[in-house]
Amino acid sequence: MLSNKNEVVSANPNIGSTVEGTVVARERSALYIDLGVFGAGIIYGREYFEAKELIKGLNVGDKVFAKITEMENDQGYRELSLKGASKDMSWNKLRDIKEKGEIVKVKVTGVNKGGLLAVLDGIAAFLPVSQLAPEHYPRVIDADKQKILRELQKFIGKTLEVKILDLLAEENKLILSEKAKAEEQTREILKNYKKGDIIDGKITGIADFGVFIKFPISDNQTNVDADNDGEAQPEKAGIEGLIHISELDWQLVENPAEVVKVGEIIKAQIIGITNSQVFLSLKSMKENPWEEVEKKFKKGDTLNAKVLKVSSFGAFVEVLPKIRGLCHVSEFESEEKMKEKLNVGQMYDFEVLLIDPKEHRMSLKLVK
C-alpha cells in the first residue's frame, strides 16, 4: 500500500500534495497546468529553472504530476513543483518495487569504504559490502580497508541485479541488497542438501576468518569483466558456503592460505544450514587426533614436547602431530619469567594437568 502523503490526491489538496494535470501553455520562464477541479497551476521562478530539463520535453496536452508548494498566489494560481513531484513519484515507485520483492538492475556509480553507490530511478542508493552477493564479496585476508576499497572500485560502471532492502523517503535513505537475490536462489538449491552431506567444492576465496567454497562445481564461473555491456554475470547454479578457520584443521590454523589454495577442489562436510547460509567443515573429513590423546596420556603424566609459540597468555606446545597443549602464563611468576624459561623450537618436560578431548584442550605445566 502506498503512503497516503505521497499519493496523487483525489480529494481536497493541500501543500505537499501531488496532483495530476495537463500542460495548457508555456512561456519563457513559466509553465501553466490545468488541474481540472483543483483549478489552475503554475510552475515558475526557481521551480521552473530547477526542472528546466524536464520541462524541455513537455508539450501542450501532456499529462504531468506536480507537487503543490503554494495553495494560491496573488494571481490565483496554485504554485507547483515538477521536481518535487518527480521525486515523490520515484519514492512511490520504489516503495512498490520493495513491497513486491522485485529484482531491479542498477549501475554502480561510485564506492566508499562501506560499499557501492548507485542511482535508482533518480534516487541515490547505497549497497553495503555486507549485502553483496558471495561471489562479489571482497576477499581481503588482512581486512585492510584500503585493499577492500580497491576491490570495490572494480565494480564502478558495472550493472548488478539487486532488491530494495530498506527505504525511508523522509531520511532520503535507499539501501539495496544483491545478496537478497542470491539468497532466494541458494534456498532453492539447498532443498537438495542436508546437514552431514559430503560435497565436492571449489575454493573461491580466502579471508582471515576462513575460506569460501562453491558447490556443486561448475565451469560457468562469475566474471564481472566478461560481458561487453559491463553487466556482472552471476553463477546461476551454485552455492557458496563458508569453512570457518576453526573448521579447517584439528590443529590451530593462523593463516587459512596455508591449508587450502584458491581454485583447489576439495571434499567438505555440511555442518550447518541456516536460511540461505551454509557452513562446512574440512577437518571433519580428517581423522580426529584428539581421539588418540586420551589413550596415550592421563593427568599427571610427564611428556617431552617442543614449544611452538609463546604469547602473552601462555606457551603452545606440540604434544602430538596436530595436537597442541597450553602451558598457561599463570604457571610462571610473570610473562617475563615464562619467556626466560621457554624458547620456541626447544624441547622441555611438561606435566599433564588436564585433558579434555571434547573441548580439544590440554593443559600443561613445565617440570622444574
CATH code at position 186 = 2.40.50.140
Is 96 among the domain residues? no
Kindly list the distances between the CA atom of residue 138 and the CA atoms of 82, 206, 212, 215, 291, in Å, as whole numbers in the listed order.
41, 10, 11, 19, 38
Kindly list the distances between the CA atom of residue 156 and the CA atoms of 114, 119, 151, in Å, as whole numbers in the listed order.
14, 12, 10
Q: What do you get for the CA distance between the two ends of the chain, in Å?
A: 77
Residuewise pLDDT in 10s, the chain (368 residues): 233 344 555 567 888 888 888 999 989 889 999 999 899 999 998 888 888 877 888 889 988 888 898 998 989 999 998 876 767 777 888 888 888 888 899 999 999 988 999 988 878 999 998 888 877 888 776 667 788 888 899 999 999 999 999 988 778 889 999 988 777 778 888 888 999 999 999 998 888 889 999 998 765 443 433 344 444 444 445 788 999 998 998 877 888 998 999 999 999 999 999 877 899 999 999 888 888 888 889 999 999 999 999 998 899 999 988 788 999 999 998 999 999 999 999 999 999 999 988 888 899 999 97
Is 142 among the domain residues? yes
pLDDT of amino acid 11:
62
Q: Where are the beta strands (DSSP E) in 102-224?
A: 104-112, 115-120, 123-128, 159-168, 173-177, 198-207, 210-215
pLDDT of amino acid 218:
63
pLDDT of amino acid 175:
93
Kindly state whether residues 9 and 80 are assigned to the same domain. Answer: yes
pLDDT of amino acid 7:
54
Q: What is the CA radius of gyration of the chain?
A: 32
Domain boundary residue among 235, 257, 285?
285
Instruction: Find out whether 327 and 368 touch, Cβ atoms under 8 Å.
Output: no
Domain boundary residue among 124, 145, 180?
180
Kindly state whether residues 263 and 348 are assigned to the same domain. Answer: no
Kindly state whether residues 196 and 275 are assigned to the same domain. Answer: yes
DSSP β-bridge partners for residue 108: 118
Kindly state whether residues 256 and 301 are assigned to the same domain. Answer: no
Is 95 among the domain residues? no
Sequence-ordered list of residues with C-beta below 8 angstroms from that of 288, at least 6 positions apart, any chain: 250
Q: How far, in Å, CA of 83 to CA of 192, rounded?
A: 50
Kindly state whether residues 208 and 154 are assigned to the same domain. Answer: no
Domain boundary residue among 180, 213, 234?
180
Kindly state whether residues 268 and 186 are assigned to the same domain. Answer: yes
What is the domain range of residue 201? Answer: 181-285
Kindly state whether residues 296 and 357 are assigned to the same domain. Answer: yes
The cell for 368 is 622444574
**HSE toward the beta carbon, residue 292, CA cutoff 13 A:** 10
Kindly state whether residues 326 and 274 are assigned to the same domain. Answer: no
The total number of structural domains that make up the chain: 4
Is 121 among the domain residues? yes
Instruction: Find out whether 200 and 172 touch, Cβ atoms under 8 Å.
Output: no
Kindly state whether residues 189 and 222 are assigned to the same domain. Answer: yes
* CB atoms near residue 173 (< 10 Å): 13
Residue 117's Cα: distance from chain center in Å? Answer: 14
Is 93 among the domain residues? no
Residue 13's Cα: distance from chain center in Å? Answer: 43
Is 222 among the domain residues? yes
Kindly state whether residues 313 and 330 are assigned to the same domain. Answer: yes
Kindly state whether residues 275 and 205 are assigned to the same domain. Answer: yes
The cell for 121 is 530511478
